[in-house]
Amino acid sequence: MSEHRTSLNRRTFLAAGAALSVGAVAAPHVSRAQEAATLRITGWGGKWGQIMSADLIPAFEKEYKCKVITDTALPFLPKLQASPRSAPIYDVLHTNSNEQWAAVEMGLVEPKIDPKQVPNLADVYPFAVSDKIVGVSIFTSAIGLGMRTDKGYPPVTSWKDFWDARYAGARGGYVIPVNSLGQAFLVMCGALYGKGYTDLDAAYGALEKLKPMKLVDFTGAMEKMLLSSEVGICVIHDSGIYRYYDDKPPTTFVTPSEGVLALEQVLSLTPGSKVKELANAYVNYMLSPSVQKKLAQSVWYSPTNKNVKLDEPYSSMLMTTPEKVSKLIQVDWKWYNARKDEIDSRVNRIFRG
Amino acid sequence: MLSIRIGRWIYLSVNALVLLFMLAPIAIIFVFALNPTPYIEFPPVGVSLKWFDKFFASTQFMSALALSLEVAAMTTVAATLLGASAALGIARGNVPGSRAITAVMLSPLMLPAILTGLALFQTYVLLDVGRPLWGLVVGHCLVTVPYVVRTTLAVLHNFDMKLEEAARNLGASPQRTFFEVTLPLIKPGVIAGGIFAFIVSFDQFPVSLFLVSPGQETLPITLFNYLKYDLDGTIGAASVVSILLAALVVIGLDRTVGLRSYVKL
């Protein structure tokens, strides 16, 4: 009797253990099946993140009766890369354009968005869906020159003024291997002093001539360097200057005559997303005039929906007309990413030397 | 006599330089946190607590701070229990290959922590468990257990086994011997390891980078993201609070368990 009970207990124990193990592994699937549709996206922090989480995401969740989970903790690409293609960690990837190209090369995101699923795509400027863009650009900033206005510098009109000897030691730039503004500027150097945007030798030569130059890795650090007068002139995006509009610091943004470089905010969809319809709806929502206006006037990004009517001073300062948008120069990130290792190694040598 | 005085002077100077080297960055953080401008400015243009106001008023920072404290507390308990038990097992268990086991136990310290984080992240994704809080604690334990093992083994190295034998000969049970003889004697190493575990977990960035779940970010991750978008003195204020909290833990432990009598500096 005793032996029988022991045997039964062991079997029961093993069966219970197995059931528990299966249950533990299956639990997430079961509970997920019972949940409302969940959209997993990436997004920025800072002011952008505040507006999204306080206002725009709750409105989207209410309208589409879903839950949106936003990951604002970088880096997004390695996380997406580490998740299975059939069950990606994100449904919508929001990054700058250079990372989108890296993602599409790895098959992590879809190259284009179907206009039938996203009606607002019909209203965007052509650059937002050009062959230089994966997915769709929902906003852009303009990369140009930022300057102190209290240093007695002469008026700046061209990118080439950045090389003026009077700015030696007062120039600010980026650590090119880790910053897309720095990468875009390198391409511009090739066009300014060589045969075109792909003339890397000319770009390297031009960078040599900019030394000594103060370099930062985080984009946001440059505006602080300019505000604190650590640099007098720098490569910067317009939002980095305009966001201090109310404080009226002695700084200004210059649109060089050769044009400004586009710093696009891009959305793309992951091929393995299980909520494609919702993901397309989210992209459409982000392109809707009301959302575009709200975000543009909060973070000073230029909307890509051409029907958006911004208030003053946003309307006159941001890229809101076809004439202004025609000044935008888009970097060929597919070309750049294919040469990134070689470029990184060369610019590291330039700025170390 | 003169040479002794010169030697002493050099000794004090070197110590002062080392202290300056270690404390100067902390001093700069305090200046940044108290300066009213949103960037580091020397000389400071004034003293303001506005960045501390912003830090304590931010729900994002407060929830990150609370989560960091929660994770650090759980990690400290788990790492201390695991690390101390492992050290006892290695030192006492007559385990074959104990040196190899010790090397394995300490190996997470030799791996780049970011790889540990990425590997765990991928494991969780493959198991389809998402990025749970326990997953983050497991990650932190991986990099903190070695500290507890190391400090406990150091104490056990000089441990006089005869004391335990005497207790057993006098009729004490193994449990009583452990709690009344062994544990009090290895306490300095366990406590030192626990303090390391708390501080390493509280400041942990590379492992957390991949393991925090959306909306539930620890303080170092929140600071990193904030730095990317809104670099201002709030970063300085948060750093000052982190430094003070770490100091508070050490002081608190000193007051409650008499750290100074255990840890000889």
For residue range A83-121, list pLDDT tens digits in order.
888 889 999 999 999 999 999 999 999 999 999 999 999
Checking if the pLDDT of A7 tops 70, the result is: no
Distance, CA of A340 to CA of A105 (rounded, Å):
14
Checking if the pLDDT of A316 tops 50, the result is: yes
CB-CB contact of B221 with B212 (8 Å): yes
Q: B1 or A170: whose pLDDT is higher?
A: A170
Tell me which residue in B40, B125, B225 faces A45 most closely, judged by beta carbons.
B225
Spell out which residues of chain B touch residue A220, defining contact as CB-CB under 8 Å.
Answer: 227-231
Tell me which residue in A29, A44, A224 faces B229 most closely, judged by beta carbons.
A44
Distance, CA of B108 to CA of B145 (rounded, Å):
9
Using 50, 70 and 90 to split pLDDT, how confident is the model at A201?
very high
Checking if the pLDDT of A143 tops 90, the result is: yes
pLDDT tens, per residue, chain B with 265 residues: 678 888 899 999 999 999 999 888 888 888 888 888 777 777 777 788 889 998 898 888 899 999 999 999 999 999 999 999 999 888 877 778 888 888 888 888 888 888 889 899 989 988 888 888 999 999 999 999 999 998 898 888 878 888 888 988 888 888 899 888 888 888 888 888 898 899 899 989 999 989 998 888 899 998 888 877 777 788 889 889 988 888 887 787 777 666 665 555 4
Distance, CA of B84 to CA of B180 (rounded, Å):
16
Give the pLDDT score at A251.
95
Give the pLDDT score at B261.
55
Spell out which residues of chain B touch residue A49, defining contact as CB-CB under 8 Å.
Answer: 229
For residue range A112-134, list pLDDT tens digits in order.
999 999 999 999 999 999 999 99
Give the pLDDT score at A194.
95
Checking if the pLDDT of A3 tops 60, the result is: no
Distance, CA of B138 to CA of B71 (rounded, Å):
10
Give the pLDDT score at B259.
60
Give the pLDDT score at B260.
60
Give the pLDDT score at A22.
45
Q: Side chain identity at A335, as an amino acid letter?
A: W
Give the pLDDT score at B257.
65
Spell out which residues of chain B touch residue A39, defining contact as CB-CB under 8 Å.
Answer: none
Spell out which residues of chain A touch residue B134, defining contact as CB-CB under 8 Å.
Answer: none
Mutate to test the interface with A, among B41, B118, B128, B213 (most CBs of A within 10 A): B128
Checking if the pLDDT of A32 tops 50, the result is: no
Global confidence as pTM: 0.79
User: Given CB atoms, is B231 within the 8 Å cutoff of chain A?
Assistant: yes
Number of A:B CB contacts under 8 A?
A: 75
Q: Count Cβ atoms within 10 A of the Cβ of residue A66 and give its class: 0-12 exposed, 13-18 middle, 19 or more buried.
A: middle
Which residues make Cβ contacts (< 8 Å) with residue B150, sequence separation at least 6?
A: B106, B193
For residue range A14-27, list pLDDT tens digits in order.
454 444 444 444 44
Q: B246 or A240: whose pLDDT is higher?
A: A240
Nearest CA in chain A to B217: A73
- Give the residue from A181, A164, A177, A146 showing the smallest Cα distance to A350: A177
Tokens of A71: 């990951």
Interchain proximity B221–A73, CB inside 8 Å? yes
Distance, CA of A166 to CA of B158 (rounded, Å):
67
Using 50, 70 and 90 to split pLDDT, how confident is the model at A60?
very high
CB burial readout A36-49, b (16+ within 10 A) else e: eeebbbbbbbbbbb
